[in-house]
Amino acid sequence: MAKLYFKFGAMGCSKTAQALITKFNYEERNMKVLLLKPAVDTRDGASVVKSRIGLMQDALAVGEKEDLFRLYAEKHADCQVVIVDECQFLTPAQVDQLADIVIQKNIPVLCFGLSTDFTTHLFPGSKRLFEIAESISEIKSVCTCGAKATVNARLDDSGRIVTEGSQVLLGGNDRYVAMCRKCWLRMRAEQEKEGGAHA
């Protein structure tokens, strides 16, 4: 039986690399894979999925109004697997559409992404995946202190933690760092003593 998978982790945990390796593994077994990414993620190009270690693949970028079930059924029904990178940017309705692909077409759908934003709140797409995915697994990453990283800390141009702003702000190592909650709270407290966390 096919499943809806959610593989999540903090920034820098190799989510995208894992997605591309998974795609390669299916293709090595002569299975056709539909690789999707939300159109809002334009860091490496409109239709490119690229990992920090340099793995790269073309992908189909989907807007937030795109019906993913219809897209699959009408244009990509020959694909035997669906893989989604940066799935946190999907809408809850799109997550439900992916679940419909699993249930109605018996096709596995593997979603890779962040669970929470820079304020430690769930992204809407990730929240829905936690609610309905049949398989949920964490891809772990490490804070500089050695503890498990769980917070995607957003940094300003001076390297200070940002605690307010839009949920979506694209960036890589220049803008985000994965931290454990203890270090994140400590740095926030230190900034507040020095004159306030930046918005």
As given in the structure block, the two tokens for residue 21 are 């390796």
- Four-residue CA torsion sign, 182, 156, 38, 33: negative
Q: What value does the CA radius of gyration of the chain take, rounded to a whole number of Å?
A: 17
Annotated catalytic residue 86: yes
Helices (H), 32-168: 68-75, 92-105, 124-132
- Check 28, 86, 164, 194 and give the catalytic one: 86
Q: Give which of 41, 44, 32 is closest to 62, Cα–Cα.
A: 41
As given in the structure block, the two tokens for residue 130 are 């936690």
* Residues assigned a catalytic role: 86
